[in-house]
Chain A
Amino acid sequence: RKEVEQDPGPFNVPEGATVAFNCTYSNSASQSFFWYRQDCRKEPKLLMSVYSSGNEDGRFTAQLNRASQYISLLIRDSKLSDSATYLCVVTNAGNMLTFGGGTRLMVKP
């Protein structure tokens, strides 16, 4: 079983749509959780950390369900500039980031 699993997509959505991505992780001892964004042939960039209480940053909302080992990302009012690959990332005991394979989002006009 992969440590961090994501639907690779692509998710093709029109501008203004709401889109949700999910991620599951296998290690129940995982400690920190993140969503990163990666544009084609570029470096991963932190989008947001994910907390058990849920957190929101503008149009982006992240949720963590530790019991189900499940992380979600909701993007409201999608923009063309949101087109990218979204990476679900966890850490375990150390600082090593464990990446999922990413979910590709394409926002169309």
Chain B
Amino acid sequence: EPEVTQTPSHQVTQMGQEVILRCVPISNHLYFYWYRQILGQKVEFLVSFYNNEISEKSEIFDDQFSVERPDGSNFTLKIRSTKLEDSAMYFCASSEVMRGSTDTQYFGPGTRLTVL
């Protein structure tokens, strides 16, 4: 069964450093997403991406965040200058169909980011 993959599984970084989280969505999917989950809290939407541009973003997704699809398979989330409060599990997801349809989002296993 096709699945979303994410690397690394755990990233430890110092405050102020840049991190890049990587995802490989399911191959025939068109929409890509990033969510985060701070320990003990709910899953929160960050951004969605379609046709090489951001289609929606939340208030959390400020100027320190960016997303990119550098090639035909990878989808990345960059955090430019990490803060302690960025420590969370970051989930990538992808879906096949377009807005307005039943578009199941499939989640990757997550990257646990720890900012020291």
The answer to whether B107 and A45 have CB atoms under 8 Å apart is: yes
Q: In the complex, how many residues of chain A place their beta carbon closer than 8 angstroms to a beta carbon of chain B?
A: 19
Note all chain A residues with C-beta closer than 8 A to B44: 99
Residues of B84-116 contacting chain A, CB below 8 A? 89, 91, 95, 99, 102-110
- Which residue of B has the minimal Cβ distance to A51? B102
Q: How far is the CA of A49 from the CA of B33 in the complex (A)?
A: 19
Q: How far is the CA of A97 from the CA of B31 in the complex (A)?
A: 13
Note all chain A residues with C-beta closer than 8 A to B103: 95
Which of B43, B105, B106, B107 meets A95, CB within 8 Å? Answer: B105
Interface centre among B103, B107, B109 (most CB of A within 10 A): B107
Residues of A51-109 contacting chain B, CB below 8 A? 87, 94-102
Say whether chain B's binding surface is mostly helix, strand, loop, or mixed: strand
Which of B48, B91, B107 meets A94, CB within 8 Å? Answer: B48
The answer to whether A46 and B45 have CB atoms under 8 Å apart is: no
Q: How far is the CA of A87 from the CA of B105 in the complex (A)?
A: 14
Q: A43-B109, A46-B104 are in contact. Are A95 and B42 (CB under 8 A)?
A: no
| B65 at interface by CB-CB < 8 Å | no
How close is B103's CB to chain A, nearest CB, in angstroms?
6
The answer to whether A97 and B45 have CB atoms under 8 Å apart is: yes
The answer to whether A95 and B110 have CB atoms under 8 Å apart is: no
Residues 27-61 of B, flagged 1 when their CB comes within 8 A of A and 0 if not, give 00001010100000111110010000001101000
What are 30 A-B pairs with beta-carbon distances under 8 A?
Answer: A38-B43, A41-B89, A42-B110, A43-B91, A43-B107, A43-B108, A43-B110, A44-B91, A46-B104, A46-B106, A49-B102, A49-B104, A87-B43, A94-B48, A94-B55, A94-B99, A95-B33, A95-B48, A95-B55, A95-B56, A95-B95, A95-B103, A96-B48, A96-B56, A96-B58, A97-B43, A97-B45, A97-B105, A98-B45, A99-B42
Q: Which residues of B contact A (CB under 8 A)?
A: 31, 33, 35, 41-45, 48, 55-56, 58, 89, 91, 95, 99, 102-110
Q: Which residues of A contact B (CB under 8 A)?
A: 32, 38, 41-46, 49, 87, 94-102
